[in-house]
Structure 1
Amino acid sequence: MARLPSIVRGLAAAAFAAALPLLIVTGTVRWLAGDIAYYRHGFRAFDAAGRTGLPLAELDRAGQEIIDYFENDADTLRIVVTNNGAEEPLFGEREVAHMRDVKTLMRALFRVNEAALVVVLGYVSLAVLWSGERSVRGLAKLALAGLAAGAAAVGIIAVFAVAGFDRAWTTFHEIAFRNDLWRLDPATDRLIQMFPEPFWQETTYLAGALIGAQAAVIAAAAGLYLYRSRRTGSESASVR
């Protein structure tokens, strides 16, 4: 089978190295954003019922509707809750408009996650298993390189978050959104009452821990394979 041009092989390898940490990061965020159990934990840990004046059952239902909104094709998030026997909208117009922006951001993250998965699986399938352009040892080295680059990028973000979460959180919103709809009033706006800043701080640290754990497992597997395959190769050479 003819070998691909070196520039194509190089670009494909670089795409894999970049996609691997992206897959880990976006996959973790996507999982947390779609996990109703984590929402329920947050509502209880940060007293969402006391802040909003709504029963936990209504908040749990609303949390599931938010998750569904991220995945469906609806343009506007309309959630009706029962409060003291009367039905009313959960969110005001400003909160609804901000959630539209959040959905745009989340859908973009979902597409990046899916693209990264295609690149990682496609590279392993085509370059390693099908064509043999890349050996398993080469794949392990490439994975370590990608994880190292990803760790450097995530590490810089982590330093800012740990040094001052308030400022880091504000900076994130200023970069991610082109308006100030995210500036909500915790005294009146239920969205921030349900998901206060301490919730996001915990979520950020949890996401960092999960990302680090996944990267560590992959790095350990790659490193162990490189060590064992090198040792096996040295032993074979000495026998000959």
Structure 2
Amino acid sequence: MNVLTRLATAGFIFSIPVFLVTANVRFAAGDAWFYEQGFRRYDADQATGVSFPDLDRAAEDLIRYFEDDRSSLRTQVTIDGQETALFSEEETSHMRDVKGLMRAVFRLNEVSLAIILAYIGGAVLWTRERTPRQLAAYSLAGVGAGLAAIGAIGAFAVTGFDSAWTRFHEIAFSNDLWLLDPDTDHLIQMFPEPFWQDMTYLVGGLTVVEALAVVSLSVSYLVFGRARDGAPETARARSGAGD
């Protein structure tokens, strides 16, 4: 196994958990229904003074903002009969930072998928330097690494989500704009900490289910593929013995 092949295999293994996690983060961040349910579960209308229809439209605008080229999020809503900006300048600046983070997650999702497809297409289907059995084994390795990391993070989050959430912000952002006031800032009123805890569980749960699906397919191929691949060898051995 040459150096390039080793690097390609390592890239494939690493890309599996990265793809699964980033794909689910992207799904959750773009799911308007999840936002709407969170608004109703945590009474965002009462906390913000904004009606649910306006909050729902704000969620859709936020989802578009993550994907489009706008530099600032300028969402208008009606409060006490007056049309006004939903977010303050500080909140808008923080959302600019969040958009940068989300765009990085989206690109990481796309790059990891490209690596996975390129490895399968190049090493398995084109050059045949790797067999489908090896691909299944490497997939198990990638899932194992991902589940170990997710399990460690999940255990930390369950035992102390507050501190984990704070630590995440300290690492992800280079400023303190994320320190919002729940009494005045609509952003944190719309998305209180329990909302993010729910999203964390959603992303983690989806990732585990998908990882188990990969494990099931890989193990099934390793078990039943072995029996199928061994059949010709057994037949040839018997034929040789008869001769």
CA distance in 2, matches of 1:235, 1:125: 27
What is the deviation of 1:126?
1.0
Aligned partner (choices 37, 55, 58) of residue 62 of structure 1: 58
Counterparts of 1:155-174 in structure 2, within 5 Å, are: 155-174=151-170
Counterparts of 1:27-106 in structure 2, within 5 Å, are: 27-106=23-102
One-letter code aligned to 2:225: S
One-letter code aligned to 1:148: G
Please tell me whether Structure 1 or Structure 2 has the larger radius of gyration of its CA atoms.
2
Secondary structure of the 1:87 match is: strand
Secondary structure of the 2:84 match is: strand
Secondary structure of the 1:133 match is: coil
User: What per-residue deviation string (whole Å, max 9, x for no partner) do you get for residues 2-47 of structure 1?
Assistant: xxx7111111111000011100000000010011111111111111
Counterparts of 1:101-180 in structure 2, within 5 Å, are: 101-180=97-176
CA distance in 2, matches of 1:194, 1:188: 11
One-letter code aligned to 1:122: A
One-letter code aligned to 1:112: L
CA distance in 1, matches of 2:121, 2:158: 39
Unaligned runs of 5+ in 1: none
What is the deviation of 1:236?
3.6
Secondary structure of the 2:72 match is: coil
One-letter code aligned to 2:200: T
One-letter code aligned to 2:63: I
Partner of 1:9: 5
When normalised by structure 1's length, the TM-score is 0.96
When normalised by structure 2's length, the TM-score is 0.94
CA distance in 2, matches of 1:164, 1:209: 18
One-letter code aligned to 2:131: S
CA distance in 2, matches of 1:162, 1:208: 12
Partner of 1:221: 217
CA distance in 2, matches of 1:167, 1:91: 26
What is the deviation of 1:238?
3.2
Q: How many residues align?
A: 236
Residue range with higher mean Cα deviation, 17-26 or 149-158: 149-158
CA distance in 2, matches of 1:106, 1:184: 19
CA distance in 1, matches of 2:70, 2:89: 16
What is the deviation of 1:156?
1.3
Post-superposition, which runs of at least 4 consecutive aligned residues in structure 1 deviate over 3 A? 233-239
Unaligned runs of 5+ in 2: 238-243
What is the deviation of 1:194?
0.4
One-letter code aligned to 1:103: K
What is the deviation of 1:235?
3.9
RMSD over equivalenced CA pairs, Å: 1.1
One-letter code aligned to 1:120: I
One-letter code aligned to 2:216: A
User: What per-residue deviation string (whole Å, max 9, x for no partner) do you get for residues 185-234 of structure 1?
Assistant: 11111000000001111111111100000000011100110000112234
CA distance in 2, matches of 1:211, 1:186: 31
Percent identity, aligned pairs only?
50
